[in-house]
Structure 1
Amino acid sequence: EQARPSYPTEAIDLIKSLYNKPNRIIDLGAGTGKLTRLLGPINAQEIIAIEPVSKMRENLKNIPLITKIIDGAADQIPFE
């Protein structure tokens, strides 16, 4: 977590300005949950973390903002 760089403040501020209290946030490839915690103040009704690595999913359980954790990866999403 400490070795991973944070997200630019400008990017987080832009996301917050575009989405005033969205119903759902999906963090695809949630990893350590760093982005999830930064977006937490948006106060979405539901925050879903999607992560393929089981150890990372276990760590995500310690973030109370997350309402659902799913085992999955971007290449498994059924887009057509």
Structure 2
Amino acid sequence: MKTGDEKLILYTRNWCGYCTMVKRAVAQLGLTLEERNIWDDPQWQNELMQARGRATVPVLLRQSTDGKSEWMGESRDIIRYLSHYRETLES
């Protein structure tokens, strides 16, 4: 999947410290992405269950324009990816 040719969706929930950490990183990096709070819409929780077999958050979904999807869990991995993503956009 080529950076910049993808849609980024962040799955979160209220009272999740790891979600807050990722959202702070998103703000510091100046990125805009769609956030889906799984407590706001049961369908979003179902999407996580279907794709990953569990509804733990945060999870970043990368969707390419050709329909390919990649799911990424673990807050540190998400932040590392978003930092790299931001650097790639600048170059």
Q: Same fold (TM over 0.5)?
A: no
Instruction: From the two aligned structures, give the one with the greater helix fraction.
Output: 2
TM-score (norm 1): 0.33
**Higher RCO (C-alpha 8 Å, min separation 6):** 2
Taking structure 2 as the reference length, what is the TM-score of the superposition? Answer: 0.30
